[in-house]
Amino acid sequence: MAHILAIGIATLDVINSVKVYPAEDDEIRAVSQRLCRGGNATNSLTVLSQLEHQCYWAGVLADEANVCRIETDLKNHQINTAAVLKLTEGKVPTSYITHNLSNGSRTIVHFRDLPEYPFNEFQKIDLSQFDWLHFEGRNVVATRQMLVWAKQQAPNLPCSVEIEKQRDDIEVLFELADVVFFSKAFAQAQGHTNAPSLLNAQQAQCGNAKLTCTWGESGAWALDGKQVLHSPAFPPSQLIDTLGAGDTFNAGIIDALVRGQGLGTALHFACRLAGQKCGQQGLDGLRMDAIYPKRFKIRC
């Protein structure tokens, strides 16, 4: 078991499942609705928790009615929330998600008015207890300060950063991380039409970091030094729900690397895990033993 801290968001996800995706200005009826906790960092932690790691979350919540659902879910996944900053004003970040039952796609409209997790809160955390830190690349200035601080306080503590969206100056984070997770959306926003093109273009800015880039049903690519690695996707027998597939992939990479595996093995494992997630609703009950009977032993 490794001790893993993730810094990022927890959200309330309002998920409407529809038979087919509506056209603009349509009015349609949802087949079903469910409310659950979401958010990239906490999604990855719930998967890591199932992979038998001790997980910790640092993020911001608002003290309002919906916070209960989020806190209960984190508690049910044994995620430690001691570093959470709870504000008296504001609303928990909320995502309104249209889940298309015909192809598993998820279309997200996200609303937030809470500030991001601040550097001065991060400075209060004792980093010596962790084996891995994972950041969402959101507030670039504060995330950079946290990465620099982490490298000063705990130089051997591996740090990963998820780069999901284009944000001003986000490149300053790349060289401070040991692993950078790029998304297809980020690659496309940079004008790339495939993952290797993005990875090769970013390498110069990333120091010695290991890089990955997911590409939906085409699987994922990684760059370790000069070596480009690819894993195909592992489509489930029935495509149910792709919400959180990228967060599951990130958890799979972190799990394999923290267990001392190479990037090629990690990539393959993460795609299998993400593929399994696409065959079910939500992130609970991922059966790793069913697809990976002999998982790698932990080395930390």
Give the binding site for ligand FRU (CB under 6 A): 11, 13, 38-40, 43, 95, 108, 110, 243-244, 246-247
Which amino acid, one-letter code, is at 227? Q
> Which H or E run contains 189?
helix 184-189
Q: Which is nearer to ligand ADP, 66 or 160 (CB)?
A: 160
Q: Are 245 and 215 in contact (CB under 8 A)?
A: no
- To the nearest whole angstrom, how small is the minimum distance from the Cβ of residue 154 to ligand ADP? 28
The residue (of 158 and 275) whose beta carbon lies closer to ligand ADP is 275
3-state SS assignment for residue 18: strand
Amino acid letter for position 222: A
The least distance separating ligand FRU from the CB of residue 148, rounded to whole angstroms, comes to 25
What is the distance between the terminal CA atoms of the chain, rounded to a whole angstrom?
A: 8
Q: Which residue is nearest to ligand FRU (CB)?
A: 38
Comparing CB distances to ligand FRU, the nearer of 158 and 246 is 246
Which range binds ligand ADP by CB under 6 A, 20-28, 196-204, 211-219, 281-289? 211-219
Residue 96: strand pairing partners? 14, 109
**Is the Cβ of residue 134 or residue 259 nearer to ligand FRU in the bound state?**
134
39 binds, among ligand ADP, ligand FRU, none (CB under 5 to 8 A by kind): ligand FRU
Q: Give the nearer residue to ligand FRU in terms of CB position, either 66 or 261.
A: 66
List beta partners, residue 211.
Answer: 180, 223
Q: Are 270 and 292 in contact (CB under 8 A)?
A: no
* CB 267 within 8 Å of CB 131: no
Residue among 267, 268, 255 nearest 297 (CA): 255
Site for ligand ADP, rule CB under 6 A? 183-184, 214-217, 219-220, 233-235, 239, 242, 245-246, 249, 271, 274-275, 278
